[in-house]
Amino acid sequence: MAANTPQDPPVRASRSTQPAAVQKKHSGARNAVRIIGGEWRGRRIHFPAAAELRPTPDRVRETLFNWLQGVIAGARCLDLFAGSGALGLEAISRGAREVVFVERDRAVAAALRSSLAALKDTRGTVLERDAFAFLSGPAERFDVVFLDPPFARGWLSELCTLLESKGWLAPGALVYLETPARAAAPALPAEWALGREMRAGEVRAVLARRRAPEPRADGAERMGET
């Protein structure tokens, strides 16, 4: 990838940019991940042989989709910093209506398109875009968002704010956040409530819920628990 010139806009790294210790911990020697459940259970998804790619570990994905059981079928999902596509592909396998994958790395995005073609699936759309640029564009509402940016960048709170303030979330939407296990919990928008949480190895997994608006007597809405 070419270095930025002074005229270039700021470039945000994809989920693949990781500290060396995390790269070694989570990079698969064969550059593949296995879909754990649903229609494509057991299928292996291959991605480019780049040491910086960091797919969400199997144990974490299994727990996450246990949390999402009963929600994911029919859901419209957004996989930001898609990387290998493990989260979004798992969602489709388990019945998601649609998944939008956002990945700025050209080779990784191409591999994702190849994976969807091999699976003969039309529910996934791969956008070769920077995640921040994507969130600054016209918003569409999603029911579930997978948010796993590079650990070292400290972007989670900013990304959460953009998702909320720009109108990307449906009422009651669920947002999955992945952080280093030893990191402090990211600051969440006031409209969100912390749901589930787990730690596994180097990873801390958090599921937050956007409170659905409650009607008021004057016809307006306020945010309340779902």
Residues 155 and 19: their CA atoms lie apart, in Å, by 15
Contact 205, 197 (CB under 8 A): yes
pLDDT of residue 112: 95
pLDDT of residue 182: 84
Cβ atoms < 10 Å from Cβ of 14: 22
In Å, how far are 7, 132, 156, 215, 226 from 101, measured between CA atoms?
28, 13, 18, 33, 27
Task: Sketch the domain layout of the chain as residue ranges.
Answer: 20-223
Q: Whole-model pTM? A: 0.80
pLDDT of residue 53: 65
pLDDT of residue 211: 84
pLDDT of residue 97: 98
pLDDT of residue 202: 85
- Going through the chain in order, the beta strands assigned E by DSSP cover 32-34, 44-46, 76-80, 98-102, 124-127, 142-147, 169-180, 192-200, 203-210, 213-215, 221-223
Low-confidence ranges of the chain (pLDDT < 50): 1-29, 51, 216, 218-226
The CATH fold assigned to 20-223 is Rossmann fold (3.40.50)
Contact 48, 106 (CB under 8 A): no
**Which residue in this structure is represented by tokens 């003969």?**
120
